[in-house]
Amino acid sequence: IRRGNLVFSDDFAFLERDDPMIRRLKADLLDALSAQLHADIYIADSFFNIYHAGSEIRLHDHIHEVDRKLGLTGQKFSMVYYVDVGDKTAAEPGILNLYDPDYAFDPQAGDIILFPSGSKHATAYSGTTDRVIIGVNCYTY
C-alpha cells in the first residue's frame, strides 16, 4: 500500500521499543484512546511513516481475515498521530481521505485522528519538507 518516496518502520511494533520517550508516548496515546473510546485498549500494531515528496498510501483498510473470523471488526480502531504535517502549501499536502462515508481531514501538527479500522482510506504527499506520522491499530475490550 505504501508507494513512492517514504520511509517507514520495519515492523509493526514501533511503540514496543525500550526507549523512555517511546514508552511515554505509548502511555499518552493509550490514555487518549481509552478516553475517546470509553474502553480499555489493546494496541495490536504501531508504526511510523515519514513522507517525502512523491509518496502515497494507496486505498486500504486495517481489517484482516483474523479480525473477521474472531468477530472483532467492530472493536478495531485505527489512529493517526501527526507529529509533523510537512509542507501544507504542496499540491498534495497529505489530506487523509476516508471513504464510505467520505471525509477529508487536513490535519495540523499534534492532531490525532481516530476511525474504525474498516474505513477505507488513502493519502498522497508532494511537499518539500518531511511529513511524519505515527499510526496505531487497536482493539477495545
Which residue in 5, 130, 132 sits closest to 56, CA to CA? 5
* Look-up of cell digits 499510526: 135
Residue-wise pLDDT for 102-113, tens only, equals: 999 999 999 999
Residue 96's nearest CA partner among 119, 61, 122 is 122
Coil vs helix vs strand at 43: strand
pTM: 0.94
Query: Residue 6: which pLDDT band, with cuts at 50, 70 and 90?
Result: very high
The per-residue pLDDT for range 34-73, each reduced to its tens digit, is 999 999 999 999 999 999 999 999 999 999 999 999 999 9
Using 50, 70 and 90 to split pLDDT, how confident is the model at 80? Answer: very high
